[in-house]
């Protein structure tokens, strides 16, 4: 007897910022079960799929009971009796049922929660781990990027750049690399305590001290890496997400560190950082989401010196990724499931980037749940990179701990990704 979906049930839960979000359970006719929690971003691009919120006075208007109602009503009724084993068809039906270009009617949070939970239920029915169900035999553990100093929209401090990250370059295994990151993270905390700086945490588990400048954050990272006994760039690299859309102005300038700066001044600022701090291996969103021309020029000039990642400009949307590839916008694409709203569309975005010799970085959101879907997903998709926050806070550690389990399960077959060859690390 064919296995089918017997029930799709949604509920309102709360994310790591204490805001409501959607959780979906999918039950199959053979007892297979899948559950998925949907993350929520704070620094969001204007091209992202619509996260349906209730509005009104309850929970500051952020309730998701409308989206939950759509799961328990239309989505549940539509998917009952449908086979769970064709992910692309499931997602296509959800998109057609919604009927809008941005998933705004049913809500991308309702659709994504269902899409992820169906994948989990199908894997459970087949008694396979999720990474194996989605990825088959071509599996790889990603290089991880850890936001250890939070700024911008992710922290209440004076730093404009949103994320300062560290990444393990030289490592024998996933665990070896992660242990190095943990050592640097604890060293950074010890250094901040000695300097009398706050060790309070931002949204993604990184420290959020007030520093005299954004450059000072990079100096602190270089010091912590060395103090922990590692060589910057060779063993531990530094990356940052400027999230420049958050300080881009309507007149084309950028309000950065208290003063308006031209595109030329911002370009000179970034290039000066690259010269002074060779440990920097990756830059994300150095210009605003509508500033395609200057973003492309920066990439073409600096792509051999540093990985350049785009997020807000493309929002995991295959149509926008095609445009970005044609424009030479970046060398790597950030991938967020809830930006596009289904598992199969996210997979399409990854395949498109790969076909055009670009890397991908699967990403969490600042408002997370303890759902570890993206850990399995990054391994299944052979994603070169993953960023999921600092090695702190349960919703961030859930992803890293799952990767440790996966490495253990794969044993001698466990492969780990290394930094892309197009950036010279020597």
210-223 pLDDT tens trace: 999 999 999 999 99
Provide the H-helix boundaries in 278-389: 292-302, 318-327, 337-340, 343-355, 373-380
Q: So what's the pLDDT on residue 141? A: 97
Q: Which CATH class is domain 5-127?
A: alpha beta
Partners of 333 in the beta sheet? 310, 360
Contacts of 190 (CB under 8 A, 6+ apart): none
Q: Give this prediction's pTM.
A: 0.95
User: Residues forming the annotated binding site?
Assistant: 154, 162-163, 241, 284, 311, 336, 363-366, 387
The pLDDT tens digits for 124-149 are 999 999 999 999 998 999 999 999 99
Residue 41's pLDDT is what?
A: 80
Rounded CA-CA distance 111/122 in Å is: 17
Hey, what CATH class is 143-413 in? alpha beta
Question: What pLDDT sits at residue 43?
Answer: 56
Rounded distance between C-alpha atoms, residue 308 and residue 297, angstroms: 12
Do 3 and 81 contact (CB within 8 A), yes or no?
Answer: no
**Residue 152's pLDDT is what?**
78
What pLDDT is stored for residue 357 in this prediction? 95
Q: What local confidence, expressed as pLDDT, does residue 1 receive?
A: 84
The residues near 197 (Cβ < 8 Å, ≥ 6 apart) are 207, 209, 210, 211
Is residue 298 within 8 A of residue 308, CB to CB? The reply is yes
Binding annotation for Mg(2+): 241, 284, 311
Residues of the chain below pLDDT 50: none
Write out the catalytic residue numbers.
Answer: 204, 336
Q: What residue spans define the domains of the chain?
A: 5-127, 143-413
Nearest to 391 by CA among 228, 169, 204, 151: 204
């Amino acid at each position: 007897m064919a296995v089918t979906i017997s029930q799709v049930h949604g509920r309102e839960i709360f994310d790591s910022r204490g805001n409501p979000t959607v959780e979906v359970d999918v039950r199959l006719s053979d007892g297979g079960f899948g559950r998925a929690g949907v993350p929520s971003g704070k620094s969001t691009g204007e091209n992202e799929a619509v996260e349906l919120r209730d509005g009104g006075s309850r929970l500051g208007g952020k309730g998701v009971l409308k989206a939950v109602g759509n799961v328990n009503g239309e989505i549940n009724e539509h998917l009952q009796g449908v086979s769970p084993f064709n992910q692309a068809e499931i997602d296509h039906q959800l998109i057609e049922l919604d009927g809008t270009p941005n998933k705004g009617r049913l809500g991308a949070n309702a659709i994504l929660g269902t899409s992820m939970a169906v994948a989990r239920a199908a894997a459970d029915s087949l008694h396979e781990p999720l990474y194996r169900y989605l990825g088959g035999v071509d599996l790889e553990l990603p290089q991880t990027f850890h936001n250890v100093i939070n700024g911008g929209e992710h922290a209440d401090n004076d730093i404009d750049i949103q994320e300062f990250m560290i990444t393990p370059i030289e490592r024998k295994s996933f665990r070896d690399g992660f242990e190095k990151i943990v050592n640097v993270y604890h060293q950074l905390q010890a250094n901040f305590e000695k300097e009398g700086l706050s060790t309070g945490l931002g949204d993604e588990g990184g420290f959020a001290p007030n520093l005299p400048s954004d450059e000072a954050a990079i100096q602190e990272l270089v010091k912590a890496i060395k103090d922990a006994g590692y060589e910057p760039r060779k063993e531990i690299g530094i990356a940052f997400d400027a999230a420049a859309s958050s300080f881009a102005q309507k007149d084309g300038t950028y309000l950065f560190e208290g003063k308006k700066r031209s595109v030329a001044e911002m370009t000179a600022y970034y290039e000066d950082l690259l010269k002074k701090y060779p440990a920097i291996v990756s830059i994300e969103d150095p210009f605003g989401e509508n500033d395609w021309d200057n973003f492309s020029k920066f990439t073409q000039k600096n792509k051999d010196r540093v990985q350049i990642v785009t997020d807000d400009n493309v929002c995991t949307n295959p149509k926008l990724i095609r445009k970005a590839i044609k424009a030479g916008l970046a060398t790597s694409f950030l991938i967020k499931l809830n930006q596009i709203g289904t598992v199969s569309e996210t997979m399409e975005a990854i395949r498109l980037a790969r076909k055009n010799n670009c890397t991908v970085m699967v990403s969490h959101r600042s408002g997370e749940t303890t759902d570890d879907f993206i850990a399995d997903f990054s391994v299944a998709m052979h994603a070169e990179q993953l960023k999921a926050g600092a090695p702190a806070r349960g919703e961030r550690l859930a992803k890293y701990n799952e990767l440790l389990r996966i490495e253990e399960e794969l044993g001698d077959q466990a492969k780990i990704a290394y930094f892309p060859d197009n950036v010279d690390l020597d």
